């Protein structure tokens, strides 16, 4: 395996508050890498620095060997880094199909004029983008909701649609911010299955922030633990859950 993403000694400060303190890790091709830690540990801030919404004051972030520091967030997405959000960020009055098509906009090359005419290259591009969206709908098993406004859908299905929108961007790596937050057991098991299918069938690397320790320990290849913005452990799930610093900071006696 080769290294896809490298985060090297990044530090992020907001005034006098240090959100991330000298954190380093890497993600390999095909890997499912998890980040855990208490609330306020800096997990989502890590995602925001990778997507360049936040610019760390120190360190470097490299994707496929090239630094992405200072790159616009939309260009980061074009490079192949897609993400989901802890709180659902869909367009509630739009249908499932139209929400997924918004994920294709970075891959669309036609002009507004040709798109309005829906002719020639623009028509072919539209049909190809719709075909890709239909493939994602089939993959995530949301066919029966495809023409429904997402505001009418159950919460677990909305989370699945948001995952589908990220997949529609043709990512090389997915950043999953608490993909099972607020879900019941059945919805969590479904999402875990889809995440594993993305890894096995679509061959997409993933970085996952999640509070559900059962899910993390079951499906992650490696786990990094943050506490107060600092990395306190990194290793396999088995290594991490036996680490006394991790038990003290987060996991508790259940994994001791």
The domain spans of the chain are 1-80+172-256, 92-170
What confidence tier does 255 reach under pLDDT thresholds 50, 70, 90? Answer: very low
pLDDT for residue 118: 56
Sheet arrangement for strand 222-227: 81-83, 173-177, 205-209, 32-36, 222-227, 230-235
Neighbours of 88 (CB within 10 A): 15
Domain 1-80+172-256 sits in CATH 3.40.50.300: yes
For the segment 141-183, what is each residue's pLDDT rounded down to a tens digit?
A: 999 999 999 999 999 999 999 999 999 999 999 999 999 998 9
Rounded average pLDDT over 26-48: 92
Predicted TM-score (pTM) of the model is 0.89
């Amino acid at each position: 395996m080769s290294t896809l993403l490298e985060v090297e000694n990044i530090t992020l400060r907001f005034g006098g508050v240090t959100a991330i303190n000298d954190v380093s890790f890497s993600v390999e091709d095909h890997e499912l890498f998890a980040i855990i830690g208490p609330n306020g540990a800096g997990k989502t801030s890590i995602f925001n620095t990778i997507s360049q919404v936040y610019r760390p004051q120190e360190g470097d972030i490299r994707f496929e060997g090239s630094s992405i520091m200072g790159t616009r967030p939309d260009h980061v997405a074009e490079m192949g880094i897609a993400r989901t959000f802890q709180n659902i960020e869909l367009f509630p009055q739009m249908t499932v199909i139209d929400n997924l098509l918004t994920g294709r906009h970075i891959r669309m090359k036609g002009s507004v004029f040709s798109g309005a005419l829906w002719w020639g290259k623009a028509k072919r591009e539209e049909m190809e983008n719709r075909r890709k969206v239909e493939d994602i709908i089939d993959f995530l098993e949301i066919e029966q909701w495809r023409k429904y406004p997402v505001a009418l859908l159950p919460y677990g299905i909305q989370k699945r649609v948001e995952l589908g929108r990220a997949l529609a961007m043709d990512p090389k790596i997915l950043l999953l911010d608490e993909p099972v937050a607020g879900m019941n057991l059945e919805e969590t098991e479904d999402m875990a299955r889809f995440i594993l299918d993305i890894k096995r069938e679509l061959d997409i690397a993933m970085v996952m922030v999640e509070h559900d320790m059962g899910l993390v320990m079951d499906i992650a290849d490696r786990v990094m633990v943050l506490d107060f913005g600092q990395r306190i452990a990194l290793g396999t799930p088995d290594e991490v859950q036996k680490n006394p610093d991790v038990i003290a900071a987060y996991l508790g006696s259940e994994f001791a």
